[in-house]
Chain A
Amino acid sequence: MTANPLLSELTAKARAKAHSSHKACPCGATVTLADRPDATVVRHAGTVAKAHAPDLTPADLAPRLTTATHLPGILLPPLAATPVDLHGRLVTFWPYGTPVDPEDPDAAPWEAAATLLAHLHRTPAPIPTTALPPMRGPAKAAQAIARLRTATAANPQAAPTAAPPILRAWATLPAWAQAKTPMPDTTTLCHGDLHLGQLVRHPTPHGPWLLIDVDDLGTGVPAWDLARPAAWYAGGLLPPDEWTRFLTAYRAAGGPAVPADGDPWPALDVPARALTAQTAARAVTKAMAEERPLDEVEQALVDACVRIASAPPELAYEYAK
């Protein structure tokens, strides 16, 4: 296995950036926070450097960065408003914030996540001087499904029985949710990839919670940002109390994605179906690559796809024409 040259150069960048702003840097080791095909993230002291996905263009990233600089209290602002180029990869610098503790579900900031989303969704779009592209939620879901199709086509013998129900669940979705047509909402500001790893406390360790990761941010259907918790709840993986805390806080903050009271599912149904199919597709693709069976959480998502495929879409789900 060869060393990743991007990682070492990104580390040098993070170090240089940290030293430019702190006269007395404690200079501990640089820590790799993530190293995936779509993002490499390293931290040196209070500075985080992120190399974005290879296919992300400056035209796509710039308005998203501008948005992050304009919404203090909702989005963590970057240290610099423009990205730098590192061998064709766009690199941005951010202050370090304390993430959610993965070992402590009881401390999960459901109310903060919901309130931040409600405020983001209520932000008038577009932000001055930006022309935001669409939120990338449906595109990411479509990409996960495409990768599952590719993986099963490449190796039909190893294709798991879990793949067909995921594709059938995907087929119940309207064209916009499959990223085939524009979304029915083109003005609401959305995060695009909300999960609990997208919140940090800044200043660390006791500052307010803020949203991070603007790579998928844009305009679109705001219910998409509620769909991952909704999908986990509907799949029997997120307890009802925690789902209720999240939904109640979102409504209390005036979030527009669901009606203020009554059944939220007419609005959540399509995005939650899509996130269930996306998450199950990623899990099955990964399990195939690792030549292992699904674990119980992954199986629960596939089971949800089986039920989605046999349930008609919510009748009330119609955007006002």
Chain B
Amino acid sequence: MQCPKCRAPMHTYNRNGVQIEQCSGCRGIFLDYGELEALTRLESQWSQQAPPPPSAPQAYPAAPVAPAAPAWGAPQAGHHGHYGHKRQKSFGRMLFSS
């Protein structure tokens, strides 16, 4: 989907089971109906130090929560899988001041 403000493409992120859309250009966030309430609910549960909420009725399997990435991140940054042999190869490079 396109950002209503700057027309750049929006990317979907999963935050604690809530799908939110963030613009790759202006970093604005779009919430669907009910998502703000869902986030508020999660926040209040967090601040009460309540035990983890019972998992919501699963319409879709809980995806692992992807860590935030910058606007210029690689398409696969933040997504799991697709690392494989490149991981071994790039790991060796992380041992050097390259």
Contact = CB atoms under 8 A, between A and B. Distances in A.
Contacts of A235: 73-74, 77
Majority secondary structure of chain B interface residues (helix, strand, loop or mixed):
loop
A193 B69 contact: no
B69 A234 contact: yes
Contacts of B80: 239-241
A247 B67 contact: yes
Contacts, number: 107
A320 B34 CA distance: 35
Contact of B72 (A100, A241, A307): A307
B81 to A, nearest CB: 9
Given A102-B91, A196-B94, A312 B25 contact: yes
Contacts of B69: 233-234, 265
A228 B94 contact: yes
A289 interface: no
Contacts of B83: 239
Contact of B78 (A240, A300, A308, A315): A240
Contacts of A111: none
Nearest to A172: B72
Interface in A21-58: none
A260 interface: no
Given A196-B94, A241-B80, A312-B25, A263 B68 contact: yes
A234 B94 contact: no
B92 interface: yes
Contacts of A100: 95
Given A193-B97, A240-B80, A265 B92 contact: no
A97 to B, nearest CB: 14
A13 interface: no
A197 B70 contact: no
A99 B74 CA distance: 30
A272 B70 contact: yes
A310 B93 CA distance: 26
A268 B74 contact: no
A304 B64 CA distance: 24
Given A197-B97, A232-B90, A312-B25, A240 B74 contact: no
A229 B86 CA distance: 15
11 contacts: A195-B96, A197-B96, A234-B73, A236-B77, A240-B77, A241-B80, A247-B67, A263-B68, A265-B70, A297-B90, A297-B93
Which 3 interchain pairs have the tightest Cβ spacing? A236-B74, A311-B72, A307-B72
Given A234-B73, A236-B74, A263-B68, 8 more contacts: A228-B94, A229-B94, A234-B77, A239-B83, A265-B70, A283-B98, A295-B89, A297-B86
Interface of B: 24-27, 64, 66-80, 83, 86-98
